[in-house]
Structure formats: structure tokens, C-alpha cells
């Protein structure tokens, strides 16, 4: 019965609705940061709940060919993958760090595949930038995951959270000493920069509606609403992964759950700051910095952690 319940949470309405609803709140947090810093912005690329509902109620204009099939399948697959990842972090299903990484990689990769198969040449122009943005998350996060696993000597998500509940954050825990702590700190910085890429915030990520030649130009109707919902879900789950890796703690009491939420909000506030102050940066240059900087930070963190753990 418990397994059926977990399946129901994963596949059916409640689980995906939860991450989308919280994603709407996450978007509100990042937008509020932008408004606080730079004033109100009439962004045509912002995904909001009314926009999702409006898209869901609009006719789906046939795109033709494989794209029409892909635009129905890809966002559903993406939302389910993100939902599964959230289930692992929230303890509904077992899973290890590798599975979590693969799920998020598959979710983000579905957008890249969608860009490559589009018959619209202007959308296909976004394919390689999308792939670069995916690499800007994938490469650093692989190294970050290895760094955390090396530091804590655990590979499952539940064991990692339990380890942090017992030993504290990997940044300051005793095993490994100062060198390992510095390594984990560098990994944290790399994970943060990588999260900017996967959440489609400026400058590394491109918004779904950032035109001309936006990724969603040929999508309309309910598939567009699903893509919007997946974007919001990723905006919640990606910071949740960062909190889980570095700032997890017990969640047995209601106030501890609130602490988790505050940590996620803290990461979202920082992401919102990066989003608003980087709005005029050239995407290709920042992508190079993103992959180079966050990748280098993650690699340095992994090496320092290895040195500290071995000592």
C-alpha cells in the first residue's frame, strides 16, 4: 500500500501539482528580488500562473511532424522526472545521488532535444546554446556530487540527509579538516552557478519565451502549459537539490520543515539577485565563464576534498 501511495504521489495529480505550485511561489520570490532591485518589469518572458491557465485553455496549433509528438511527450516527461527527483529528496521514494543527477539531466536534456528536432530554423539556432547551458549545469554538478559523496562517504539521498542531521553541514563537519571544508565550499559555489543555468534564469539559461526564435515559438495550447509548469517545477527543485547537498537537516518537526523552506528561499533570493544583475550580459560569454568558472571551482573543490579526506 505504501508503494502504491508513493506511485500515486509521483505520477498523479498531487505530486506534480505540489512542485508546480511551489514553483509558482519560487518564481514570485525571484521576481520580487528583481522588482526590489530594479523596479517593476513588464517582462513578456515571465511565466506566471495566469499565463499557464491561459495556455492550457488555448487551442493547440498543429506543429506537424515529429515536433508535434515531441511537444506533447517532452514536457510531461520533464515534469515526471522532476517530480521523481522531488520524491527522492522529500523521502517518498528511495534514490541515490546518481539517480537524482540523471533525473535532472534527463529533464533538462529534453529541452535540448526539443530544440534540435524543431523544423523551425530559428528555434534550431537555440539548440547549441541550449546544449551549452545544459553542460554548464551537468559538468559542475557531476563534480559537486562526487565531492559531497567523497566528503560524507554516503551515496543515497536519505543517508546524506541523515549524515548532515548527525554531523552538520559538509562545510564545517569534522571529517576531513579545513582543507576538505574549503573544497566543499568551492563545490557549493560551483553548484550555485550551475543552478543558474538549469533554472533558465539569465544569463546562462534562456527563458522559454525569450524571442525571437524562442524555444516555445512552435508550441501552443496545453503542451505550452506543460512546458511552463515544468519550468516552474525546475525552479523549485534545483535549489532544493543545493539545499539537500549542503544544508540539509532533520525534518521531523514542523519548525524544521520551515527551516528547509527558508533555506530554499535563501537560495532563490540569491538566484534572483544573479538574474537581475546579469540581465545585460552576453549569453555566450557568460556561458563560457559559467562552464569554465563553475567547472573549475567544482574540480578544485573535488581535489581539495579528496586531499582533506585522505589526510
Partner 1 sequence: MSAHVSSRTRGQTVFHIRLGGCGGCGDIVDAMLRDRYKGRPSVFECSSPRHASLFIVSGMWSEGAEGPVREVIAQAPEGTRILVAGDCALGRGLLAGSLEGMIAVAERIDVDAKVAGCPFTLAALGEGVRDVTR
Query: Which residues would be at the binding site for partner 1 (CB under 8 A)?
Result: 40, 42, 44, 48, 50-51, 54-55, 58-61, 209, 211-214, 216-221, 224
> Minimal distance in Å, beta carbon 42 to partner 1?
6
> Minimal distance in Å, beta carbon 67 to partner 1?
12
Q: Which CB, 13 or 59, lies closer to partner 1? A: 59
> Minimal distance in Å, beta carbon 311 to partner 1?
55
DSSP 8-state secondary structure symbol assigned to residue 96: B
CA distance 219 to 21: 22
Residue whose entry in the numeric block shows the C-alpha cell 521523481: 84
Angle between helices 222-246 and 13-38 (to 10 degrees): 80
Q: Which CB, 47 or 87, lies closer to partner 1? A: 47
Q: Which CB, 64 or 252, lies closer to partner 1? A: 64
Q: Which CB, 45 or 169, lies closer to partner 1? A: 45
> Minimal distance in Å, beta carbon 40 to partner 1?
8
If we measure between CA atoms, which residue out of 2, 140, 15 comes closest to residue 86? 15
Q: Which CB, 96 or 218, lies closer to partner 1? A: 218
> Minimal distance in Å, beta carbon 309 to partner 1?
50
Q: Are 184 and 301 in contact (CB under 8 A)?
A: yes
Q: Which CB, 214 or 237, lies closer to partner 1? A: 214
Residue whose entry in the numeric block shows the C-alpha cell 565550499: 185
Q: In 3-state terms, what secondary structure has residue 156?
A: strand
Whether the link from the prior residue into 212 is cis, omega within 30° of 0, is: yes
Q: Are 133 and 204 in contact (CB under 8 A)?
A: yes
CA distance 201 to 203: 6
CA distance 259 to 255: 6
> Minimal distance in Å, beta carbon 61 to partner 1?
5
If we measure between CA atoms, which residue out of 243, 282, 248 comes closest to residue 26? 243
Amino acid at each position: 500500500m505504501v508503494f502504491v501511495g508513493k506511485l500515486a504521489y509521483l505520477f498523479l495529480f498531487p505530486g506534480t501539482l505540489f512542485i508546480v505550485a511551489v514553483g509558482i511561489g519560487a518564481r514570485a520570490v525571484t521576481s520580487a528580488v528583481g522588482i526590489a532591485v530594479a523596479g517593476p518589469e513588464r517582462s513578456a518572458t515571465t511565466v506566471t500562473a495566469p499565463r499557464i491557465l491561459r495556455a492550457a485553455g488555448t487551442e493547440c496549433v498543429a506543429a506537424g511532424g515529429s515536433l508535434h509528438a515531441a511537444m506533447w511527450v517532452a514536457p510531461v516527461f520533464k515534469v515526471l522526472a522532476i517530480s521523481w527527483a522531488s520524491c527522492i529528496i522529500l523521502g517518498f521514494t528511495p534514490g541515490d545521488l546518481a539517480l537524482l543527477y540523471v533525473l535532472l539531466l534527463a529533464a533538462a536534456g529534453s529541452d535540448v532535444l526539443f530544440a534540435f528536432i524543431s523544423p523551425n530554423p530559428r528555434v534550431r539556432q537555440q539548440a547549441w546554446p541550449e546544449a551549452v547551458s545544459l553542460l554548464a549545469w551537468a559538468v559542475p554538478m557531476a563534480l559537486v556530487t562526487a565531492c559531497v559523496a567523497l566528503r560524507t562517504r554516503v551515496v543515497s539521498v536519505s543517508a546524506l540527509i541523515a549524515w548532515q542531521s548527525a554531523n552538520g553541514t559538509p562545510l564545517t563537519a569534522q571529517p576531513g579538516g579545513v582543507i576538505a571544508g574549503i573544497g566543499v565550499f568551492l563545490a557549493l559555489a560551483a553548484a550555485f552557478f550551475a543552478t543558474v543555468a538549469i533554472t533558465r534564469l539569465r544569463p546562462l539559461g534562456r527563458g522559454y519565451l525569450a524571442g525571437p526564435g524562442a524555444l516555445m515559438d512552435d508550441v501552443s495550447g496545453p503542451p505550452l502549459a506543460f512546458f511552463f509548469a515544468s519550468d516552474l517545477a525546475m525552479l523549485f527543485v534545483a535549489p532544493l537539490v543545493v539545499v539537500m547537498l549542503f544544508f540539509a537537516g532533520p525534518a521531523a518537526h514542523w519548525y524544521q520543515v520551515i527551516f528547509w523552506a527558508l533555506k530554499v528561499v535563501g537560495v532563490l533570493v540569491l538566484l534572483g539577485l544573479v538574474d537581475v544583475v546579469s540581465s545585460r550580459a552576453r549569453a555566450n560569454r557568460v556561458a563560457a565563464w559559467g562552464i569554465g568558472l563553475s567547472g573549475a571551482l567544482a574540480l578544485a573543490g573535488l581535489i581539495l576534498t579528496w586531499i582533506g579526506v585522505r589526510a
